[in-house]
Every structure is written in structure tokens, then in C-alpha cells.
Amino acid sequence: MIQTLADLAQARIRECAPQAVEDFRRSVRPIYAAEGEDYVHLEHVGSCLLLEIDGRRILSTAAHIADWLTKNWKLCVLGLVGTHPIGIVGRVRATVPPMGIRQWDHLDCAFWEVPGEAVAAFGPVEFLGAPRLSKNRAPVAGRAYTAFGFPVCRNEDSIDAAGSISVRMSMYTGGLVDVPPTLAEKLPMSGQEHLLLNFSEEAETIGGESIATFDPVGLSGGALIDLGDFCDMMVIIASEGVRSEDPPRCRTGREMSGLGSSRTRNFRWFWSMMRRAA
């Protein structure tokens, strides 16, 4: 059987993407909102990334996820299997939306310093340090990226009658597109703080079967993994993470509100990336 370079690149991406997700999955956790004083009645709202910065344990998510705290709701994060929901209490720092309109906030980032007593409650998670984060110094042309987290559409019924929570992580792999000058001017933005991931309505599983792409709402706050250079080939793979060994670098991620929906044929998705000085 003769394979082209494109075939080999696609096969390699199918191999690398789930491996990378598995390697980082202990650092990407789901976030739930709870109405009332307890954490019994939960609603899945998004994802978060666990970081270690200057010796401090940081939970990074999207600011529009943190906004649930201003709606008389509480937020909690799930650790690994066997743990209980961990309340996000105390000060949560978030970017300030222009004129109070979150959809105009094109950075859309929030951070919570995890108290020392709460760290153990996560279970054996990994707070990612600087060596595990991309500094975005490599040219993005020809590189493949995997976004992953916990979409709402696949976690709406994650809590059973007994109160047990079974979450479903999902991933999407694709190439980047340039920020159109007209869009950059409209937002406004330079494109230096964002990556524009091409997110199509149709995708393929790891096995190559064609499927409808899941709605990305809820991946907000999750991770974006730089898989490396794949011969300038745009490949789209959507599935769930499986096994892994050798990890690429990770970036913080978030969804950009108002730039498309799953009803469009080919919509695009912005992700925050680590600043060059980070």
C-alpha cells in the first residue's frame, strides 16, 4: 500500500492527539455551577486548566465562566475519580469587560489561587508548571492543535439520581487560520494574543469515520495543545482522549463568544495563548 505524505501526516495526528490529551487530562477539569448554599444541584458550565506559577497553584478558566459567581450561583470544580466537588471560594480575578459587556472582552480570562487545604481534595491531579507550557515561539503555519475539555452537550446528564458524577472529556484537532484583517479591526485585536482554530461542523473520529462535530460550548477554559508541525496539512479530528505517553506543550484556551455556532458550516474559534513574556 502506497501512502502519500499527507496520509502519513494524518495518521500521525490521529496517533498524537489522543496521546497528548491523555497526558494532560489530569490538568483539565470540569466546572459546575450550584444554586443555593450547597453543592447538591449542579449544572455543568465549563472547563478549567490547573497551573503552577511561581510556586502557587492556580485554576485558570474563562471570565464568562467566573461570571456565574455574580449571578448568585456558586462554582465548584471536580477533581479526579473518588473526590468531592471543590468550592471555588474567595477572590477570583477576571479580565474586566469593556463597558460591562462580556462578549466584548476578547481576553476573557479568570484565575483562582487554590488554597493549600483544597489542593489535596483534587486527588492526584497535575498543576502544570512552566516547562509544560508553550511560549509560542515556533511558527504556527503547518502545525496541528488539539483543543479539549468538557463540552456542555456531552455532560448535561452527567449526574445520576444518586448524585454520582460521570464526566465526559472531548477533543477537537485542527489547523489554524489567519485572523482576517476586517475581523481584527472590528473586535479590535492584533491577533498576537489569540489563535484562530478552524472548527468545522463535520469531522472524523480517530478511526477515520465521518461524524458531526460536537457543540464546543463548555470547552471554555480548557486546554489547547500544540501537537507540532505536520507538513502544513489541515486535518480535522474530533473524538475523545485515550492513551498517552510523550506530551507536547500546552496552552490555555477559551471560547470566543459570538463568532459562530454549531449550526454554521464552517465557523471559527479563538483561543487565548500564553503571552510571549510568560
- Domain at 69, CATH number: 2.40.10
* Same domain membership, residue 136 and residue 88: no
Question: Structurally, how many domains does the chain consist of?
Answer: 2
Q: What's residue 191's pLDDT?
A: 60
* Same domain membership, residue 163 and residue 116: no
Contacts of 184 (CB under 8 A, 6+ apart): 190, 191
277 within domain boundaries: no
231 within domain boundaries: yes
* Same domain membership, residue 78 and residue 42: yes
* Same domain membership, residue 89 and residue 59: yes
* Same domain membership, residue 140 and residue 262: yes
Q: Which of 276, 220, 195 is nearest to 103 (CA)?
A: 220
141 within domain boundaries: yes
* Same domain membership, residue 66 and residue 109: yes
My answer on whether omega of the bond before 188 falls inside 30° of 0, hence cis, is yes
241 within domain boundaries: yes
Condensed to tens digits (0 to 9), the pLDDT of residues 85-140 reads: 999 999 999 999 988 888 888 889 999 999 998 999 999 999 999 888 877 767 77
* Cβ neighbourhood burial of 163 (10 Å; 0-12, 13-18, 19+): exposed
**Does residue 266 carry a pLDDT above 70?**
no
* Same domain membership, residue 182 and residue 50: no
* Same domain membership, residue 13 and residue 47: no
pTM score: 0.76
**Better-scored residue on pLDDT, 110 or 203:** 110
Q: Which of 215, 179, 187 is nearest to 200 (CA)?
A: 215
User: What is the residue-averaged pLDDT of the chain?
Assistant: 76
Listed range (6-15, 172-181, 250-259) with the worst mean pLDDT: 250-259
109 within domain boundaries: yes
Q: Report the alpha-carbon distance of residue 28 to residue 127 in Å, rounded.
A: 9
278 within domain boundaries: no
Q: Which domain covers residue 246, as residue numbers?
A: 5-26+129-272
* Same domain membership, residue 153 and residue 114: no
Average pLDDT over residues 73-93: 92
Judge whether 181 and 250 are in contact, CB under 8 Å: no
Q: What's residue 132's pLDDT?
A: 85
142 within domain boundaries: yes
Residue finishing a domain among 122, 148, 169: 122
Residue finishing a domain among 104, 122, 140: 122
**Better-scored residue on pLDDT, 5 or 32:** 32
161 within domain boundaries: yes
Condensed to tens digits (0 to 9), the pLDDT of residues 16-26 reads: 888 888 889 89
**Does residue 273 carry a pLDDT above 60?**
no
Q: What's residue 124's pLDDT?
A: 95
* Same domain membership, residue 96 and residue 14: no
**Residues 125, 130, 132, 135, CA torsion sign:** positive
Residue finishing a domain among 122, 156, 179: 122
* Same domain membership, residue 147 and residue 15: yes
* Same domain membership, residue 195 and residue 167: yes
**Does residue 234 carry a pLDDT above 50?**
no
Q: What's residue 277's pLDDT?
A: 28
